[in-house]
Amino acid sequence: MNKKPINAVLSSLLIAGLSLSTAVGAKNEDPFLWLEEVEGEKALEWVEKNNEKSLGYLKSKPLYEKLYQKNLEVYNSDERIPYVGQMGDYFYNFWRDAKHERGVWRRTTLEEYKKNEPKWETVLDIDALAEKEGENWVYKGSNCIYPTYDRCFINLSRGGADATVVREFDVNSKSFIKDGFQLPEAKTRMAWVDKDTVLVGSDFGEGSLTDSGYPRLVKEWKRGQDIEKAKLVFEGNKEDVSVGGFVVHDGDKSYPVIYQGLTFYTSDYFLITDKGLKKINRPLDSSISSVLNGQLLLELKSDWTIGDKTYPQAALLSINIDDYLAGSTDFTEVLIPDDKTSIAGVSSTKDYLLVNLLKDVSSELHRYSFNDGEWSSEKVDMPDFGSIGVAGTSDEHNNFFVNYNNFLTPSSLYYFDDTSGDITVLKSLPAFFDASPYNVEQHFATAKDGTKVPYFLVMAKDTKLNGKNPTLLYGYGGFEVSMRPNYSATIGINWLEQGGVYALANIRGGGEYGPDWHQAALKKNRHIAFTDFIAIGEDLVERKITSPKHLGIRGGSNGGLLVGTVTTMRPDLFNAVVCQVPLLDMKRFNKLLAGASWMGEYGDPDKEDEWNYIKSYSPYHNVHKDVEYPKVFFTTSTRDDRVHPGHARKMVAKMQSQGHEVLYYENTEGGHGGASNNKQSANLQALIYTYLVDQLK
């Protein structure tokens, strides 16, 4: 498609492989190990029984149906912004609504897209395909050949899993190519070298996957060739996280690259040349962001001393790629963020570098140009105190789209026209709820070590500080992911309009203040993320915004680990917990599905010294019979092949065995997102907020 930041492309490698089967050890003393058998008959009977109980309880509440219908109206609304990516002269969009439950991949022209009601040309109808083939297809994206974009790899998931079937698609004829490139279900990564050659990493059989369940081998596959006869280009180690191939385009030049993920945060890059593989000299924890007009852009995650020069952590550097490959380390400093600023994203157009910055968790966008060996920048004129996202960039143009929103302002899509220099609002999301009664505030809680930890607060202007307000605190705190202000119709409808207060935590472990903010809560320091979150909860109580009786928390994936852990640490501080697609058994997380890839974040539980600190917070190992916990609501998906549903299943079974009252809902579809279509999304949100209102009112 367009020129994506390379680190964004590489991160997708970690969600593109085949699940590992669960090795059940006969000597394991875990009495609930059988629940790790995802499709086991006994396990699914247990799921059905718990689903029936929880759904019966929640759907009996009058609020559920009201919220479900409102949510479905939002998800199916034709007034949503159809975000696009540019390929050639067309702008592509994937769209779901009431008529297209599974969705359609479609395209239009810029002239049409500027209209209030553009005419769309359907390229691929997923509903029609699923019906024709009798499969529960979920669209997982496309990868089209540069620069013609006439052939694409289409990724199709059964029920929303990360693992996909890959098929070659002819855009002009709008049909799959009968004898084209195609592979069965796996976490496959394919990259176009040319029309008849691809780099592919997939499940090639025994020994071809890493311990994390991702590809370990990269092959060069020629059209018409049996995949088993494809040339082996690179072989990684079983202990690696993932290995893959990709191609970087810079104008007419192409750079085929091998990526070897050593850990979640360290990697090696190898350029494929006529003389073989050439290792790229860089810090293992750095990210290559882009190649623009011959300049390679490198983001540092730690200080880098090379020669007599030290480049600071978080710096964005550039260097002529040919000089770099020849051995030069004479970098130019593009940007050195201060301690209140972090780089949220780097992308590029034909001639410009776009850098999305966070300053105290609010976005700014800067456009950089490179002339006479120096970088200069200008700030793009956008509203303050919100979140910005760049979209629709292209190697062939300097025009681009920017999305802006904040908690109370619906998304607006701005169009930057390089010819005129104007930036105008092209499309806006309607207000799905009345924001006028509410205010947004930013506060800073004091952590145990004295660090000021920010959080946002959204509440009615006339909120009484009496400690009785139902309050939902949301957090994540991991993998350098920043929690930014954004407009959520479901939060507005399901929570604010029900009289709730919403708080968003910016705890350490995230990326709100750059790599150092993330690294402060890695491995043995993981507890810092948990105590930061608790400090915000205590701050909400101290400000008399709420009290433990009315305070609830929510998190998913790593955020599910967060809320699961703080529930065992401070069960007295919360009265509702929504724990979604969570990690909870931290003794076995590295043996389940993609879990081994996250040891760079949490540590290795098979090493005694690292298990000693992991076991101090692992929720599954720190829940006790004689402690009173809030009635936790756990949700997961049978088709989640990233975070194993066994985490939530086993935690629920253990808490039930100890006599604790909990709720559990497992969607049989949905993947790691928990839902695979609009109806499922509307249902899940209605269940969650019905529970929260019931617990915290």
Pairing between β-strand 121-125 and β-strand 316-320 as defined by DSSP bridges: unpaired
When pLDDT is cut at 50, 70 and 90, the band that residue 231 belongs to is very high
Looking at residue 668, what is its pLDDT? Answer: 82
What mean pLDDT do residues 181-208 have?
Answer: 97
Q: Which of 202, 212, 289, 557 is catalytic?
A: 557
Looking at residue 599, what is its pLDDT? Answer: 96
- Among the listed ranges 15-29, 494-508, 575-589, which one has the minimum average pLDDT value? 15-29
- Among the listed ranges 6-10, 27-31, 106-110, 145-149, which one has the minimum average pLDDT value? 6-10
Q: Which of 518, 644, 660, 672 is catalytic?
A: 672
Alpha carbons 550 and 280: distance in angstroms, whole number: 54
The 10s digit of each residue's pLDDT in 100-133 is 999 999 999 999 999 999 999 999 999 999 999 9
Alpha carbons 666 and 668: distance in angstroms, whole number: 6
Nearest to 289 by CA among 307, 310, 314: 314
CA 268 → CA 258, 261, 327, 403, distances in Å?
Answer: 8, 7, 16, 33
- Among the listed ranges 27-31, 300-304, 632-636, 669-673, which one has the minimum average pLDDT value? 669-673
How many residues can be counted in the chain?
Answer: 697
Domains of the chain: 41-73+432-696 (3.40.50.1820)
The 10s digit of each residue's pLDDT in 321-377 is 999 999 999 999 999 999 999 999 999 999 999 999 999 999 999 999 999 999 999
Mean pLDDT for the chain overall: 93
H/E stretch holding 692 reads helix 678-696
Q: CA neighbours within 13 Å on the CB side: how many for 328?
A: 13
Calculate the CA 392 to chain-centre distance: 19
Pairing between β-strand 316-320 and β-strand 353-359 as defined by DSSP bridges: unpaired
With contact defined as beta carbons under 8 Å apart, do 130 and 137 qualify?
yes
Sheet holding 332-335, edge to edge: 287-292, 295-299, 316-320, 332-335
Looking at residue 395, what is its pLDDT? Answer: 86
What mean pLDDT do residues 585-612 have?
Answer: 96
What mean pLDDT do residues 314-325 have?
Answer: 96
With contact defined as beta carbons under 8 Å apart, do 169 and 150 qualify?
no
- The DSSP bridge partners found for residue 276 are 273
Extended strands (E) in 187-275: 189-194, 197-201, 217-222, 231-235, 242-250, 253-261, 267-273
Burial per residue of 190-205, b for 16 or more beta-carbon CB atoms within 10 angstroms, e otherwise: bbbbeeebbbbbbbbe
Q: CA neighbours within 13 Å on the CB side: how many for 179?
A: 6
The structure tokens 């509203």 sit at: 383
Residue type, 259: Y
The answer to whether residue 674 scores a pLDDT higher than 70 is no
The answer to whether residue 1 scores a pLDDT higher than 90 is no
Looking at residue 515, what is its pLDDT? Answer: 97
Burial per residue of 443-476, b for 16 or more beta-carbon CB atoms within 10 angstroms, e otherwise: bebebeeebebbbbbbbeeebeeebebbbbbbbb
Alpha carbons 241 and 266: distance in angstroms, whole number: 10
H/E stretch holding 444 reads strand 438-446
The answer to whether residue 396 scores a pLDDT higher than 90 is no
Looking at residue 676, what is its pLDDT? Answer: 59
The answer to whether residue 24 scores a pLDDT higher than 80 is no
The structure tokens 């509702």 sit at: 576
Residue 659 corresponds to which tokens in the numbers above? Answer: 């006599």
Residue 179 corresponds to which tokens in the numbers above? Answer: 């004898």
Alpha carbons 443 and 528: distance in angstroms, whole number: 19
Contacts of 21 (CB under 8 A, 6+ apart): none
Catalytic annotation present for 660: no
Nearest to 90 by CA among 162, 2, 14: 2
Catalytic annotation present for 488: no
Nearest to 696 by CA among 569, 539, 574: 574
Looking at residue 161, what is its pLDDT? Answer: 87
The 10s digit of each residue's pLDDT in 59-98 is 999 999 999 999 999 999 989 999 999 999 999 999 999 9
When pLDDT is cut at 50, 70 and 90, the band that residue 165 belongs to is very high
Burial of 70 from C-beta contacts in 10 A (0-12 / 13-18 / 19+): buried
Calculate the CA 616 to chain-centre distance: 27
With contact defined as beta carbons under 8 Å apart, do 7 and 289 qualify?
yes
The answer to whether residue 25 scores a pLDDT higher than 70 is no
Looking at residue 675, what is its pLDDT? Answer: 60
Q: What angle do CA 264, 216, 647 make, to 5 degrees?
A: 55
Q: Determine if residue 148 is left, alpha or beta; phi over 0 gives left, psi from -120 to 50 gives alpha, anything else beta.
A: alpha
When pLDDT is cut at 50, 70 and 90, the band that residue 518 belongs to is very high
With contact defined as beta carbons under 8 Å apart, do 475 and 553 qualify?
yes
Full DSSP string of 149-187:
--EEEEEEEETT-S-EEEEEEETTTTEE-TTSSEEEEE-
With contact defined as beta carbons under 8 Å apart, do 346 and 353 qualify?
yes
The answer to whether residue 12 scores a pLDDT higher than 50 is no
With contact defined as beta carbons under 8 Å apart, do 569 and 530 qualify?
yes
The answer to whether residue 2 scores a pLDDT higher than 80 is no
When pLDDT is cut at 50, 70 and 90, the band that residue 18 belongs to is very low
H/E stretch holding 127 reads helix 126-133
Looking at residue 159, what is its pLDDT? Answer: 87
| Alpha helices for 356-437 (secondary structure H) | none
Contacts of 282 (CB under 8 A, 6+ apart): 269, 288, 298
Looking at residue 625, what is its pLDDT? Answer: 97
Looking at residue 639, what is its pLDDT? Answer: 87
Alpha carbons 241 and 262: distance in angstroms, whole number: 6
Alpha carbons 681 and 68: distance in angstroms, whole number: 9
What mean pLDDT do residues 592-605 have?
Answer: 95
H/E stretch holding 366 reads strand 362-371
Alpha carbons 142 and 168: distance in angstroms, whole number: 10
| Alpha helices for 514-645 (secondary structure H) | 515-519, 527-542, 558-569, 599-602, 608-614
Residue 416 corresponds to which tokens in the numbers above? Answer: 């930057």
Which is more confident, 304 or 16? 304
When pLDDT is cut at 50, 70 and 90, the band that residue 673 belongs to is low
The structure tokens 């920048």 sit at: 377
The 10s digit of each residue's pLDDT in 431-487 is 999 999 999 999 999 999 999 999 999 999 999 999 999 999 999 999 999 999 999
